Homo-oligomer: A and B are copies of this chain.
Amino acid sequence: MTAPNLTAAAGPDYGSTVFGGWRRAAAADWQAYTRHEFVRRLGDGSLPRAAFLHYLVQDYVFLANFARAWALGVVKAGDLEELRAAAATVDALVNQEMRLHVTACAAAGIAEKTLLAAEEEIENLAYTRFVIDAGLSGDFLDLLAALAPCVLGYGEIGAWLGDAADDKTYADWIDSYAASDYQALCRSVGRLIDRAAAARLGAAPEASPRWADLCRTFRTATRLEVAFWDMGLRGGR
Contact = CB atoms under 8 A, between A and B. Distances in A.
Interface of A: 64, 67-68, 71-72, 74-78, 80, 83-84, 86-88, 90-91, 93-95, 98, 116, 120, 122-123, 125-126, 129-130, 132-133, 136-139, 142, 198-202, 207-210, 213, 220, 223-224, 227
Nearest to A139: B139
B64 A75 contact: no
Contacts of A94: 74, 83-84, 87-88
Given A71-B72, A129-B132, A116 B210 contact: no
Contacts of A139: 137-139, 142
B95 A87 contact: yes
A24 to B, nearest CB: 19
Nearest to A216: B119
A213 to B, nearest CB: 7
Contact of A136 (B75, B120, B210): B75
A233 to B, nearest CB: 16
A134 to B, nearest CB: 9
Contact of A71 (B75, B93, B133, B202): B75
Nearest to A93: B87
B68 A137 contact: yes
A2 B93 CA distance: 49
Contacts of A120: 220
Contact of A137 (B76, B199, B210, B213): B76
Given A122-B227, A133-B133, 7 more contacts: A64-B80, A75-B132, A91-B95, A125-B130, A138-B139, A198-B209, A199-B210
